[in-house]
Amino acid sequence: MKKTRLALALASCLMAGSAMAQSSVTVSGLVDAFAGSMKNSGDSGSKASVGSGGMTTSWIGFKGTEDLGGGLKAEFNLTSFFQTDTGATGRFSGDNLFSRDANIALSGGYGRVMLGRGLAPSFLPTVLFNPFGDSFTFSPLVLHVYTPSGNFGSRTWTQANAADSGWSNEIIYTTPKFGGLQANLHYQFGEVAGQTGKKNIGVNALYFNGPLALTGMYFDAQVSNPNSGSAIIDATAPFSSITRQKTWMVGGTYDFQVVKLYGTYQASKDTTAGNPQAKDKVFSVGMSAPVGNGSILAGFARTKRTGDLLASTTGDVSRNTTSVGYDYFMSKRTDLYAIVMNDKISNQSSGVSFGLGMRHRF
């Protein structure tokens, strides 16, 4: 009888330990490609092509969690971007292998603490509060704050945000949810010998309550991302000359069911060599309206730049970009889209782009 009881006790302990250590690993991703013609303001001409990432940059990732018991979980994320049209890795030549995510985290009732490469504090407020989401090709707001235009080496537009949409060498603390409110605190180490005080600091807050969503964001950046030497940084109009940028943003959406409205406002101030008062003010509005199995999308962004960051120009510069499109869902995982975009920088020729594309999630 004693042996039976002992065996039952050992089995119970083993089962409890197995349940506490439950873990899972998933593979997921998204493939996006489009055919069309691209011409941003200032480009020498239109380029007809098959492109990648019309609505979302293509990616593949691995995600894992382990239940440690007591409400505590260990998590990891490894996510890589790729270009559907060529099969090349990264968003551009020289991009990091896991430029979207490379991190490990511990989460529980206290919130979540992450270490590694992860989102910048500006990313979620930007992509969740414009109708074109994380489109680095057709979203007016994303183009203004994240994406340079023109040929690298003769850039016609330097993105408003000095730091990338992802930060490396980062610690992120995510608070628990209080009603519909949650905040993220970001700290990035500069990891430059002799410049131990060089860093990026940021915070964002996201509030969702029924049809209403609100956000606020602030960052103080001294480190450009991703790694130096990549194609997004060049010697003609880099952010390497910026010693510091302070940026804040507010945004909101309201869903009336027949139409969802979007609006954001962002202001940046840069400390740059020879131009200590360079400033950007970025305003955006948009809407999405459900029609059939999809939605009509429309967005507009305007940036007024005081003290142009480009060495080739002087004085104030403004940029206006408008996109209109239709996103049709064939299923929960697959959609087709058609988008037309007009782009104009005040001291450059205007550009018109369009694309017909397909997006699939797995």
Give tens-digit pLDDT for 83-111: 999 999 999 888 889 999 999 999 999 99
Pairing of strands 199-209, 334-345: unpaired
Q: Using one digit for the tens of pLDDT, what is the confidence trace for 173-198? A: 999 999 999 999 999 988 777 666 77
pTM of the entire predicted model: 0.87
More confident residue, 134 or 306: 134
Nearest one of 233, 231, 227, 184 to 205, comparing CA atoms: 184
Nearest one of 126, 121, 131, 264 to 182, comparing CA atoms: 121
| C-alpha–C-alpha distance, residues 55 and 50, integer Å | 14
Q: What is the pLDDT of residue 308?
A: 60
| C-alpha–C-alpha distance, residues 25 and 21, integer Å | 13
Collapsing DSSP states into helix, strand and coil, what is residue 198?
coil
Measuring CA to CA, how many Å separate 156 from each of 36, 103, 113, 124, 308?
Answer: 22, 34, 39, 26, 11
Banded pLDDT at 150 (limits 50, 70, 90) = low
Q: What is the pLDDT of residue 13?
A: 45
Q: Using one digit for the tens of pLDDT, what is the confidence trace for 225-261? A: 755 433 223 333 344 455 789 999 999 999 999 999 9
Which residue has tokens 């004693």?
2
| C-alpha–C-alpha distance, residues 224 and 59, integer Å | 22
The answer to whether 186 and 121 are in contact (CB under 8 A) is yes
Q: What are the tokens at 34? A: 């489009």
